[in-house]
Amino acid sequence: MPQHSAHTTNKFWLPLAFAFVLILGILLGIKLQKEVPIVPTPEGEEQVETQPGKLEELLRFIEARYVDKVDRDELIQKAIDNILQELDPHSTYIPSDQLQRINEQLDGNFEGIGIEFLIVSDTIIVIKPTKDGPSDKAGIIAGDKIVSVGDSSIVGQKLNETNIIDSLRGERGTKVKIGIVRENQSAIQYFEVTRDEIPINSVDAAYMLNQNTGYIKLNRFSATTHTEFLRNLERMIDEKGLKNVVIDVRDNPGGYLQEATSILNQFFKDKNKLLVYTEGRNVHRSDYETTGKSFFSIDNIAVLVDEGSASASEILAGAVQDYDRGIIVGRRTFGKGLVQEQYNLSDDSAIRLTVARYYTPSGRSIQKSYDDLVSYDDDLNTRLESGELYSGKQLTTADTTPYYTQDGRVVYGGGGIIPDVFVPLDSAKTNPYFAHLQPFIRKFVYQFYQTNKPRPDGDNSILSYKGMTDFVDNFEIPDPVLQNFQASIDDEKLLIEAKNVKDLVPLTKLYLKARLAKHLYDENGLYAVLNAEDDVVKKAIQILEMPNPITVLEEKE
């Protein structure tokens, strides 16, 4: 995307001008603006050429007369941050060194060699190369140990995951030499890998929960989400006979608004049905409506939400709820109803500026109050302290204005989407020691899998099962394996604390099993194990198996 240029005397006041610019025509929840926006003036007046103001004057005086030497760029960045903090929590400045990584998440791809890796005992181990990606084509396989990148050895030193990623990524078409030590071989093999575009999938898992119901986990709404969603939906319909679908947007922070509306289009046969609309002070109302071109016939829908579901996730859930097209299961969503546009600055940094609010079909704004920024930024702890995550009765609504679904049910705005069916949070998952256990679980499971993985000769491995369903239904972590895992933890304090928290034992065994399933059956295996013990998923399945799931909601009224 081309960058705009700015005259030297203007580049310091331009970020300030941007903070007061709102532009017409919102096409996406986050939209990349290609040209410098024009500063609007009151309707009917001529546009006035703006000139550098007090900020530029102040900087000049400081540089010319201040007693100590100052870093002008650092002062400018602090000024930008302070200006944006006066607006809303989602108008932000993105430094140039972070912009590429953030844009990659939204674009749905990055340029690199395409591997999933794990650091074990100061060694980089390839967990899985991306199928048909650069490393896969070059001949790198799961289990390979990376000992050098280019001319630099990376064995035995303290490895930093971010630095490793930076060394492996690079411009498409460039080559990098990777030194590999393979299992049962001592000599180093060298592979020349040509970097290419690597997809960042927004669909984590897509498999059948039972004979009729499919499950799709979305981790974000990137530029490829709708395509990924349709591809997996079509596969389950054609191969498995899918009739109902569970869409899991828990912990999904959102992304592109249009990707959410494109998915919603598949659930409505009618044309010109309002899905969401956006409107701002200097942004005319934009309606997003159904096209009437749904490719598949879906009977019942459940959308799984929680306190981490935001933005485009809430647009999806809000439309499904407002039209009584499906059930919303879980806990109240985050409450982000603001639309940002992204403006690139001349130094390859950018700002994301809130330009509008979005509203569900019934007219609800689900943006929660940000008068108290401390509580807003620490949302999870605020909800934990209120008890809302454990009891739906503790939930309060900032906006008591009633809105009505298509069937006449009352719903509320002013702070997220309130689920139709509340399911409390498992308190064990908020135990801080469990979060600390995660990297130990990944390393232990990888080593256990390498020792016990099924062999082509048909050996009787502890992990030999007929398939994913057989493994999920019948495999359990043996107590000796759990004891070996506890012994493998090299953090004595963590080990002592973990032993004293009995609630962590079943959860630890579950996650050990889930990580093993990932090695055996990829991401679908991981989620199949976790979902089998997930109360939110189980509640969704229970309701979808009823003759008419929507009647459950009507009975609540």
Joined together, the tokens standing for residue 381 give: 């702890």
Catalytic-role residue among 286, 309, 340, 365: 340
Between β-strands 301-305 and 327-330, what pairing exists: parallel, antiparallel or unpaired? parallel
Closest CA to 111 of 134, 131, 88: 134
Q: What single string gives the DSSP state of each residue in 412-459?
A: --SSSPPPSEE----GGGG-HHHHHHHHHHHHHHHHHHHHHPPPTT--
Helix/strand/coil percent split, the chain, to 5: 35, 20, 40
Catalytic-role residue among 33, 91, 266, 311: 311
Residue 307 neighbours by CB under 8 Å, 6+ apart: 331, 332, 333, 334, 379, 380, 383, 389
- DSSP character at residue 360: -
Whether residue 386 lies in the annotated active site: no
Closest CA to 535 of 419, 392, 425, 393: 425
Rounded to whole angstroms, how far apart are CA atoms 441 and 482?
A: 10
Q: Where are the beta strands (DSSP E) in 255-404?
A: 271-280, 283-291, 301-305, 327-330, 338-344, 350-359, 403-404
Joined together, the tokens standing for residue 98 give: 């972070």
Residue 512 carries which side chain, given as an amino acid letter?
L
Give the three-state DSSP class for 352. strand
Rounded to whole angstroms, how far apart are CA atoms 336 and 15?
A: 24
Catalytic-role residue among 31, 128, 217, 336: 336
Joined together, the tokens standing for residue 194 give: 């040509």
Whether residue 153 lies in the annotated active site: no
Whether residue 47 lies in the annotated active site: no
Tell me the angle at which helices 479-488 and 504-532 cross, rounded to the nearest 10 degrees: 110
Joined together, the tokens standing for residue 205 give: 């898992």
The residues that are catalytic are 311, 336, 340
